[in-house]
Amino acid sequence: MKIGEMAQQVGCSVETIRFYEKAGLLPKALRNIENNYRDYQHVHLERLRFIRRCRSLGMTHDEIRTLLDAKKNIDGCHAINDVIAMHLAHVQHRLHELQALEQELQRLQQQCQGFDGVEDCGILRALESEHIPQTIDAHDHVHDANICRGH
């Protein structure tokens, strides 16, 4: 099948497929001798579905690579379970950070009565004068660059 057909079947863009190929998650398809189009096989389709499912769970490309490598291991699924356990821990940590962020935003919102002019805005005063704790880790696992634009 052609790249557009595969993209349609999985529900992603052609650019996403090319991105996964460049990232080494999806093997490049061989080119058809007759028309020089890439000829994707069922194995590409299944691999792409696997990658997209992992991405829908917020997994990084490194985690997906680890899972793909672990699929080849016949000794057991310990490595697979480890990846999921680590990812779950990251998600739980992120939830804790988001709850702290929610509380901080609620506290800020309480500073505003909605009737004051901008010069008397309680939120702006709080943002300008208070130390706002960093509730989101700048190196957060879930917000890595691989998530942008559906990749």
User: Does residue 138 register a pLDDT over 60?
Assistant: no
Question: Which of the four pLDDT bands, split at 50, 70 and 90, describes residue 147?
Answer: very low
Question: Which of the four pLDDT bands, split at 50, 70 and 90, describes residue 143?
Answer: very low
**Residue 113 pLDDT:** 75
Cβ–Cβ < 8 Å for 7, 43:
no
Domains of the chain: which residue ranges?
3-56
* Tokens 């991105």 sit on residue: 19
Query: In this predicted model, what pLDDT tens digit does every residue of 55-94 receive, in sequence order?
Result: 999 999 999 999 999 988 877 788 899 999 999 999 999 9
User: Does residue 31 register a pLDDT over 70?
Assistant: yes
Q: Rounded to whole angstroms, how far apart are CA atoms 87 and 62?
A: 11
- List C-alpha distances in Å: 81 to 48, 66, 72, 84, 98: 21, 11, 14, 5, 25
CATH topology of domain 3-56: Multidrug-efflux Transporter Regulator; Chain: A; Domain 2 (1.10.1660)
User: Does residue 122 register a pLDDT over 80?
Assistant: yes
